[in-house]
Amino acid sequence: MPSPRYWREVPARFRLEAVRCRGCGKVVYPARRVCPGCRGTDLEPLALSRSGTVVTSTVIHVAPAEFAMETPYAVAIVETPEGARLMAQVVDCELPEVKPGLKVNLEFRLIRQEGHGGILCYGHKAVPEA
């Protein structure tokens, strides 16, 4: 049952809480206790901007069952101005416009449902800037 894991990830999923390494400056998302860059443990909390740029993307045509009604849809790696990278679905867009360099905002959306009777899992999706 994935609910406890989803609940633990709420600060990262809902508020984009990351950490910055005071040793080498690397921004790590989601937050970790050890810097993957320099293995330092002196990390300060940092909330990511709700905007970014598409680094790379793909279009999903054959999706897991719970996303079947949404196909075809785009998924991208988005880099925020702080230098953190996260994977997000890109919505409210035309699929051909989702290319490296596309400026996006990160909006709070329903990500998935744990079946018909389970909990609703929220997080962020990317939407092209107006």
Q: In what order do the strands lie in the sheet with 17-21?
A: 27-28, 17-21, 43-47
Instruction: Tell me the CA distances in angstroms from 56 to 34, 64, 78, 108, 110, one per residue in order.
Output: 27, 21, 8, 21, 23
Which of the ranges 20-28, 49-57, 61-69, 94-102 carries the binding residues for Zn ion, by CB under 5 A?
Answer: 20-28
Among candidates 41, 45, 9, 10, which has minimal Cα distance to 23?
41
Minimum CB–partner distance for residue 123 and Zn ion (Å): 26
Residue 21 interacting entry, from other proteins, Zn ion, none, C-beta within 5 to 8 Å by type: Zn ion
Q: How far apart are CA 87 and CA 123, in angstroms?
A: 11
Binding residues for other proteins, rule: CB under 8 A, are 10, 14-15, 50, 68-70, 91-92, 107-111, 115-116, 120, 122, 125, 130
Which DSSP state fits 81? T
Considering only residues 33 to 62 of the shown chain, the ones binding Zn ion according to CB under 5 A are 35, 37-38, 40
Using CB under 5 A, pick the residue from 24, 59, 95, 110 that binds Zn ion. 24
Nearest approach in angstroms of CB 33 to other proteins is 22
Which residues pair with residue 90 across a beta bridge? 74, 126
Q: Nearer to other proteins by C-beta: 42 or 66? A: 66
Residues that bind Zn ion (CB under 5 A): 21, 23-24, 26, 35, 37-38, 40
